[in-house]
């Protein structure tokens, strides 16, 4: 995967890559053994996930730790376009009864657009295609 301008290009010959939703990042940070194999995976996140991660760590562990995590994960941010926004809005309507977040809908649609699997443990996504579901 490489970035060209505002676009991320996924090369077919590379090892499997993922979109880590915030759930996945927190599980990795908390040392969940089920996520151990993903620690060395190539991945992307959205800026919205970076906000969620920063906010939780800021609340739980303070600004210094939140800043450290921000520095680490900001390198893996992929931008999203209008098509992702449109598809995410449709997905949110479709899944509304499951109370999924806007951030998760955007992440899922961005993962599909980039051709990478959506890594999550969020029950709302368990049965959807292109999901690597791990608790």
The mean pLDDT value for 34-54 works out to: 97
Q: pLDDT tier at 96 (50, 70, 90 boundaries)?
A: confident
Residue 103 phi/psi, 5-degree rounding, is -60, -45
Report yes or no: 22 and 120 within 8 Å, Cβ to Cβ.
no
pLDDT for 13: 43
Between 4 and 113, name the one with better pLDDT: 113
The mean pLDDT value for 104-114 works out to: 98
Q: What integer best gives the mean pLDDT of the chain?
A: 92
Going by C-beta distance under 8 Å and a sequence separation of 6 or more, which residues neighbour residue 55? none
Rounded Cα distance, 113 and 8, in Å: 10
pLDDT exceeds 70 at position 12? no
Looking up tokens 């759930």 gives 23
Report yes or no: 35 and 20 within 8 Å, Cβ to Cβ.
no
Report yes or no: 52 and 22 within 8 Å, Cβ to Cβ.
yes
The mean pLDDT value for 113-125 works out to: 96
Q: pLDDT tier at 37 (50, 70, 90 boundaries)?
A: very high
Q: pLDDT tier at 25 (50, 70, 90 boundaries)?
A: very high
pLDDT exceeds 60 at position 89? yes
Going by C-beta distance under 8 Å and a sequence separation of 6 or more, which residues neighbour residue 61? none
Q: What are the domain boundaries of the chain?
A: 18-28+43-128
Q: pLDDT tier at 28 (50, 70, 90 boundaries)?
A: very high
């Amino acid at each position: 995967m490489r970035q060209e301008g505002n676009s991320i290009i996924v090369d077919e010959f590379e090892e499997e890559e993922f979109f880590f939703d915030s759930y996945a990042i927190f599980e990795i940070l908390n040392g969940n053994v089920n996520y151990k194999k993903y620690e060395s995976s190539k991945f992307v996140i959205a800026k919205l996930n970076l906000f969620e991660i920063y906010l939780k760590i800021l609340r739980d562990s303070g600004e210094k730790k939140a800043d450290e995590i921000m520095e680490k994960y900001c390198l893996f941010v992929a931008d999203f376009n209008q098509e992702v926004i449109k598809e995410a809005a449709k997905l949110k309507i479709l899944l509304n009864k499951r109370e999924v977040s806007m951030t998760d809908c955007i992440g899922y649609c961005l993962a599909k657009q980039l051709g990478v699997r959506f890594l999550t443990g969020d029950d709302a996504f368990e049965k959807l295609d292109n999901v690597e579901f791990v608790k």
